[in-house]
Amino acid sequence: MGSRNKLLALAYQLRLREPRPESIGDEEVEQSGGRNVVSRAGSAESALKVATSSLKGGGGEARFRPKRAAVLVCLFEGEEGEFRVILTKRASRLSIHSGEVSLPGGKAEEGDKDDAETATREAKEEIGLDPSLVDVVTCLEPFLSKHSLKVVPVIGILANKEAFQPRLNPAEVEDIFDAPLEMFLEDKNRRGIYGEFLGEEYLVHFFDYEFENKKFVIWGVTSAILIRAASVVYQRPPAFLEQNPEFKNNDETLRRYLVKSRGDGHVLLLVLIFISHLGILPIGFRLEASGPSWVSGINSIVGLLIHSLAGDRLKAMP
């Protein structure tokens, strides 16, 4: 009875939240160059998409309309009374984000009436979670992934965990596990990587986690969403810097740079997009702690490649 009361209290708390701003939709993203959404994802690759649209637009305002997706942040109560979240490891055969940890979810389909239906439908398809078992209580503000998806986190509560018997879709999901939500507010088993992009640093969080003798790494937009969700649920900020506050305008900086230097910008942009699709953070990055030697090697190669194409338009990165 106590467990159910705790979940009911959480549901009540989350329903009292102010709804996520609908103004952060396609129209505002188009007008603002996506700044509000990019700042949440913390991904420099997102800024590249804005810049591409700007170049195609002939020097006018950036026209950027990302496709919509939704993920399910499905919470239940663990044996020790903690809130836990369901996560998956994507199938290795997938063309995008293969083998990475993610939240259940996917792209919106024409028949979906809202983000909640998208998230719960995808969760049923991927892991066999019956939507009737999930009490959707709120949605968070959108995040922008590096593949130009506007991802809406949908928070749902699974009161009867025993009723959920996972059935994985092998074409999409390789594994399923759960983790304590509060770990995404703690500075334990966390690594931060700083990327440098046009002279500004952005931060990506990596959480190392072990579950039933299996090791997982939770990072990228998934870790960003879980940090935000944990902050909302526990009503406190993380014990670490969530994101460089100056990075939120980086997409606008890049847009102006590429419009001004249109000739070199096309070539530079293609190179950066190619590098990002290889899974390498653009321009260069460094670990918070001392990292492996290959990090500096990648920095050097990327730096030489970019500077050979763009000349001295960009300052050399360390």
- Tell me the CATH number at 115: 3.90.79.10
Of 99 and 182, the structure prediction assigns the larger pLDDT to 182
In a domain, 276, yes or no: no
Of 66 and 136, the structure prediction assigns the larger pLDDT to 136
**pLDDT winner (highest mean) among 49-58, 107-116, 254-263, 284-293:** 107-116
Q: What CA–CA distance (Å, rounded) separates 6 from 59?
A: 54
In a domain, 171, yes or no: yes
CA dihedral 56→202→204→186, nearest 10 degrees, is -140
The model's pLDDT over 188-233, given as tens digits with 9 standing for 90+, comes to 999 999 877 667 787 899 999 999 999 999 998 999 999 999 999 9
pLDDT at position 75 over 60: yes
**pLDDT winner (highest mean) among 4-8, 175-179, 283-287, 289-293:** 175-179
Check residue 43 and give its pLDDT. Answer: 42
Mean pLDDT of 37-63: 42
Mean pLDDT of 166-175: 94
In a domain, 74, yes or no: yes
In a domain, 294, yes or no: no
Of 256 and 132, the structure prediction assigns the larger pLDDT to 132
Check residue 197 and give its pLDDT. Answer: 61
Mean pLDDT of 223-244: 95
Check residue 167 and give its pLDDT. Answer: 97
The backbone region for 56, taken as left when phi is positive above 0, alpha when psi lies in -120 to 50, beta otherwise, is alpha
Mean pLDDT of 4-32: 66
In a domain, 33, yes or no: yes
In a domain, 126, yes or no: yes
* Listed range (5-14, 225-234, 261-270) with the worst mean pLDDT: 261-270
Mean pLDDT of 102-121: 95
What is the tally of structural domains in the chain? 1
Residue 180's identity, in one-letter code, is: P
Check residue 214 and give its pLDDT. Answer: 95
Does the pTM surpass 0.85? The reply is: no
- Phi and psi of 99, rounded to 5°? 75, 5
In a domain, 103, yes or no: yes
135 class by beta-carbon count within 10 Å (0-12 exposed, 13-18 middle, 19+ buried) = middle
Using the Cα atoms of residue 205, residue 242, residue 209 and residue 126 in order, give the sign of their dihedral. negative
Check residue 100 and report its DSSP letter.
-
Check residue 291 and give its pLDDT. Answer: 41
In a domain, 291, yes or no: no
Range of the domain at 92: 2-43+64-244
Mean pLDDT of 254-264: 50
pLDDT at position 49 over 80: no
- Show the CA angle centred on residue 87, arms to residues 225 and 161, nearest 5°: 115
Mean pLDDT of 83-97: 85
Q: What CA–CA distance (Å, rounded) separates 211 from 162?
A: 19
Check residue 252 and give its pLDDT. Answer: 55
